[in-house]
Structure 1
Amino acid sequence: MQKSLKKSYKFAFKTAAYVTIVASVFMALFLHFFHELDWEFLIFPFACYVVCFAVIQYRVENFIYRRVKKIYDDLTLLESTNLRQQPITTDMKTLTEEIDKYARDKKIEIETLKVREEYRKEFLGNVSHELKTPLFTVQGYIETLLDGAMDDEKIRKKYLTRASKGVERLTYILKDLDMITKLEVGDLSLNYETFDIVELVQNVFDLFEMKSAKKKITLTFDTDYITPIFVHADKERIQQILSNLIVNSIKYGLERGTTEVSIENLIKNKVIVRVTDNGEGIANEHLSRLFERFYRVDKSGSRKEGGSGLGLSIVKHIIEAHNEKIYVESEPGVGSEFSFTLEKAK
């Protein structure tokens, strides 16, 4: 408790002086008219001043302190951690600054909670939609079969195949959700190893060669990498990142287009891997939300292409788990470039 402060002393000094002057004038007038005014009267102003100062200082500080303490107690009920860690002050300027800072912090906190609440509602809506679509599909095919369609061997096989694809999609979504949850809470461990990133990219090219061939999209490097480029990371997770980015470039790329991968030295111990396509591109207003769960630029078109809607969110989490950065640049009608950094092997 800080009771002795300059401002309260200044107030007491001035108030005591005013009271002393007024009291001394009245006393002088009283003695002049009713008694003799002698030298002993000179003691009165000093005694009056000291007594007034002590009483005023004590009363002011206790008066202010009780009310300030009530403010602190009220704020403590609102879990004001910062205020509880500080001594109670009777300095009005300091108190005002603390309350203003507290109010600003609470305003930011409330705005953040509102944003999170909106995100939560949107996220739950997206999860519901993503799970509902394959569930209803599976349910519809099964009910059709139970209603008698299973007696027809061709229809039975066709509907069971479609129902199986719906279940597969559900499994894919739940698997991706589980992975994101583990990445967010830090439960998914990374197995670091040294590997050739050029070779890994080529393996991913080979993996999606047939998929790209259907749209006549060429998967290529920007140049011939004759010597290996070794990086230190989780090889399986980096392959997952590359697969996701390359599959997206095929999905949203133009027919007879190109997906190009380049690997460049960024700084002494870093490389940057770029995946560039000449597809439809992404409008600028979508870029800031591109890595959110279930966020889709073209909701109808994206769902036709399949996928869980969690791919880019997983990519971002894996990159961040490696303590690296991911970037995106895109222009509608020109194409997109996703790039991420990796640590070079020593």
Structure 2
Amino acid sequence: MLPDIQFSPVAVSGCAINLIIAAICYYVRRFRDGRQGLAFFGGAHLINGIVYLLIIPLPPGPQLSAALASPFAYLLALGVVASSACVLAGAWAIDHRLRFQRRFVLAIGIAYLILVGLGLGVGADIAFRGAMILNVCSALVAGVLFLQGRTAFYKLTGATWLLRTVMTLVLALLPPTLAGQQYFITIGILNVIFIAATGFGIILTELDDARQAASDASAAKSQFIANMSHELRTPLNAIIGFAEMVEGRAFAPTLQQSQQYGSLILQAGRHQLGLVDMLLDMASIEAGRDSLVPQSMAADKMAEECVRMLAGEADRAGVVLHTATEPITVMADPRALRQILIALINNAIKFSPAGAAVRVEVSMAGPGRTAIRVCDRGDGISLTELGRIFEPFFQAGDTYTRAKGGLGLGLAIAQRLATALGGSIAVESQPGMGSTFTLLLPRGETLPDGQTAGSHMATIVPDRAN
């Protein structure tokens, strides 16, 4: 005869579902290039599965009530708090507007310590209930952020998170004496159901985003072909046409005309070489083979040098360049910094109307940081396009009309180079009011002899899904 062993059906189902969801999250994250948020949510489900595993031998009734009032409840509370921290980290990875995530996690840790202290004097079940309420808070944050998502999958997942908070809150407020009653068991089963709904909802949003990313990649390929078709044909046609004139097929050019045609051929050839170089730079960055050597250098001198280099381009566009610099050092690779600034200034010139001014500013930006700002008074960037301007081959407005020319790679390369140098590029823009691009880089060291500070290698790592 087998011994009469009773298991909690809520705990068994909760353990199985959580471990299954954790395994799927790991699989999608590891083998399907899932984002970082999926790893955090998978960790939360793994911890939940372990918590349910610990209470499987405790069927609803006196045994469970006694366990929740014993020091064993501290261990369960610790698992619930750890799960809450993972949920907050996952919510932050999904939506970076959750800027207070570190403070929130710290607050959860402090609250847990307070609950443990209270539990020592009042009862261990207080610590467990408090941990459940903290879990409700983190789930509520996740639900609100998911509800603000851009697709129906996000909104449905957010709704299930909110329903899950209701079930968890009810469980936290129920007295342990009800642990053996059907009401308690029903609420526990509903909680497990909504845990499953939130877990599979997260996986579905991840897979749907991956499908959308694949669709965007296909559109980017078509966009790339459209861009290259125009940008490479134009200089090639100019080179061939003027070369035929120099050769004398159309008419015998004079020496002055030959010199003029040769100058135009040279200009078109350099333009095409610039396009090819930009494509090669992007390919090198994406492959992670572009090694940089950051060193301490004068940010103001580099900015003024780039302004002088683009003075002719600004003059042809009827744009006036202004500088407002301070003698500040920056830690950067000279070639990379020059390429970043040229891309930002050239972009400002390109999208500024004739007669407008572009301003380049160099100043301090807090402890150990240097800010280089490029401000224009062009058409500005709409809110929907603002989040995509650093994508390769993307340009604000109708890309296929090619009204402004270019491949749409300048800002993408600049942003990746800035990241490799330990910095970032931020943009502020309003339609009709212009744009301001701010390059933030680490401050460099100032040496008395004018030498550069010690340098170190930095390798550009290609972007991966979050």
1:327 is paired with a residue whose SS is strand
> What is the aligned partner in structure 1 of residue 100 from structure 2?
none
* Offset at residue 221 of structure 1 (A): 2.1
Q: Does 1:130 align with 2:232?
A: no
Separation in structure 2 between the aligned mates of residue 280 and residue 9 of structure 1, nearest angstrom: 59
Of 193, 203, 213, the residue aligned with 1:116 is 213
Q: Does 1:244 align with 2:343?
A: yes
Q: Does 1:309 align with 2:408?
A: yes
Q: Is the 8 A contact 1:212 1:250 kept in 2?
A: yes
Q: Does 1:277 align with 2:379?
A: no
1:339 is paired with a residue whose SS is strand
Of 317, 339, 343, the residue aligned with 2:438 is 339
Kindly provide the CA deviation profile for residues 261-318 of structure 1, in whole angstroms up to 9, marking residues without a partner as x. Answer: 2222221101211111122222222211111111122336983443222111111111
Q: After superposing the two structures, state which structure 1 stretch, 264-273 or 182-191, moved more.
A: 182-191
> What is the aligned partner in structure 2 of residue 103 from structure 1?
200
Aligned positions, number: 282
* Offset at residue 234 of structure 1 (A): 0.9
Q: Does 1:196 align with 2:298?
A: yes
Separation in structure 1 between the aligned mates of residue 396 and residue 297 of structure 2, nearest angstrom: 34
Percent of residue pairs identical: 20
Q: Does 1:319 align with 2:418?
A: yes
Kindly provide the CA deviation profile for residues 130-180 of structure 1, in whole angstroms up to 9, marking residues without a partner as x. Answer: 22224555479869999x9946455x9799987877665554334323322
> What is the aligned partner in structure 2 of residue 7 from structure 1?
8
Gaps of 5+ in 2: 31-41, 57-187, 446-466
Separation in structure 1 between the aligned mates of residue 323 and residue 313 of structure 2, nearest angstrom: 18
Report the residue type matching 1:7 in the other structure: S
Separation in structure 2 between the aligned mates of residue 261 and residue 140 of structure 1, nearest angstrom: 34
Over 3 Å counting, the alpha-carbon distance change for 1:114 and 1:97 in structure 2 is: same
Kindly provide the CA deviation profile for residues 175-200 of structure 1, in whole angstroms up to 9, marking residues without a partner as x. Answer: 32332233234321111111111111
1:267 is paired with a residue whose SS is coil
Q: Is the 8 A contact 1:326 1:339 kept in 2?
A: yes
Q: Is the 8 A contact 1:183 1:321 kept in 2?
A: no
Kindly provide the CA deviation profile for residues 12-32 of structure 1, in whole angstroms up to 9, marking residues without a partner as x. Answer: xxxxxxxxxxxxxxxxxxxxx
Separation in structure 1 between the aligned mates of residue 347 and residue 242 of structure 2, nearest angstrom: 34
Report the residue type matching 2:350 in the other structure: K
Q: Does 1:289 align with 2:391?
A: no
Over 3 Å counting, the alpha-carbon distance change for 1:202 and 1:145 in structure 2 is: closer
> What is the aligned partner in structure 1 of residue 333 from structure 2?
234
> What is the aligned partner in structure 1 of residue 277 from structure 2?
175
Over 3 Å counting, the alpha-carbon distance change for 1:172 and 1:278 in structure 2 is: same
Of 206, 212, 217, the residue aligned with 2:308 is 206
Separation in structure 1 between the aligned mates of residue 200 and residue 9 of structure 2, nearest angstrom: 26
Separation in structure 2 between the aligned mates of residue 116 and residue 165 of structure 1, nearest angstrom: 38
* Offset at residue 248 of structure 1 (A): 1.6
Separation in structure 2 between the aligned mates of residue 275 and residue 338 of structure 1, nearest angstrom: 5
Q: Does 1:219 align with 2:321?
A: yes
Separation in structure 2 between the aligned mates of residue 293 and residue 230 of structure 1, nearest angstrom: 30
Q: Is the 8 A contact 2:317 2:354 kept in 1?
A: yes
Report the residue type matching 1:295 in the other structure: F
Q: Is the 8 A contact 1:233 1:322 kept in 2?
A: yes
Over 3 Å counting, the alpha-carbon distance change for 1:186 and 1:151 in structure 2 is: same
Q: Is the 8 A contact 2:293 2:332 kept in 1?
A: yes
Gaps of 5+ in 1: 11-60
Over 3 Å counting, the alpha-carbon distance change for 1:244 and 1:4 in structure 2 is: farther
Over 3 Å counting, the alpha-carbon distance change for 1:234 and 1:311 in structure 2 is: same
> What is the aligned partner in structure 1 of residue 92 from structure 2?
none
Q: Is the 8 A contact 1:134 1:166 kept in 2?
A: no
Of 236, 254, 257, the residue aligned with 2:356 is 257
* Offset at residue 341 of structure 1 (A): 0.5
* Offset at residue 232 of structure 1 (A): 0.9
Q: Is the 8 A contact 1:244 1:312 kept in 2?
A: yes
Q: Is the 8 A contact 1:134 1:167 kept in 2?
A: no
Over 3 Å counting, the alpha-carbon distance change for 1:143 and 1:343 in structure 2 is: closer
Separation in structure 1 between the aligned mates of residue 391 and residue 352 of structure 2, nearest angstrom: 21
Q: After superposing the two structures, state which structure 1 stretch, 286-295 or 88-97, moved more.
A: 88-97
- Higher-Rg member (1/2): 1
Q: Is the 8 A contact 1:134 1:169 kept in 2?
A: no
Q: After superposing the two structures, state which structure 1 stretch, 197-206 or 95-104, moved more.
A: 95-104
Q: After superposing the two structures, state which structure 1 stretch, 211-220 or 240-249, moved more.
A: 211-220
Q: How does 1:44-83 map to 2 (within 5 A)?
A: 79=27
Separation in structure 1 between the aligned mates of residue 303 and residue 444 of structure 2, nearest angstrom: 17
Of 389, 393, 397, the residue aligned with 1:298 is 397
Q: Is the 8 A contact 1:194 1:231 kept in 2?
A: yes
Report the residue type matching 2:8 in the other structure: K
Report the residue type matching 1:176 in the other structure: M
TM-score after normalising by structure 2: 0.50
Separation in structure 1 between the aligned mates of residue 358 and residue 380 of structure 2, nearest angstrom: 13
Over 3 Å counting, the alpha-carbon distance change for 1:104 and 1:278 in structure 2 is: same
